[in-house]
Amino acid sequence: MPSCARHSAAIFAAIFFVLTQNMMADAAAPQIWFKMANYKGTQGVDGPQGWRKLFSDPNASWPGFMDHVQVVAAAGIMQVPVDVLAKMFVKLKQKHIAFAIESLAQSWVNQPACGQGGRELL
């Protein structure tokens, strides 16, 4: 085997080892997800005040429990103002927290009843 091929094979083996070790470690470690309430919510820290306190308010301290969170999840993301979303993504990136969008696989709002449409999609 030529020297270049051996070198490439060694690099590939090292990368494969590192990737599989990380994947195995990640699979064994539980993840903590934090679900944001819908932005249009109105109770306590739910809704706009919760989003703004966590992501927009420059005077608000980062809550200690969030240091254990790996993923922030949210539904109804279209309700959240763009400036709040932008600040949220900056903060999540700084804190190395992933983001998940909760969504239905298929919306039933203003859609025909089951079995009464959808052929145009095929």
pLDDT tens for each residue of 41-95: 765 556 788 888 888 888 889 999 999 999 998 887 888 888 888 999 999 999 9
pTM over 0.85: no
Return the percentage of the chain with pLDDT > 90, whole number. 20
The predicted pLDDT at position 67 comes to 93
Q: Where are the domains of the chain?
A: 1-29, 31-101
Whether the per-residue pLDDT at 113 is higher than 70: the answer is: no
- In this prediction, residue 28 has a pLDDT band, given cuts at 50, 70 and 90, of low
Sheet bearing 33-35, strands edge to edge: 33-35, 71-74, 98-101
Among 26, 107, 41, which residue's Cα sits nearest to residue 74?
41
Contact 83, 90 (CB under 8 A): no
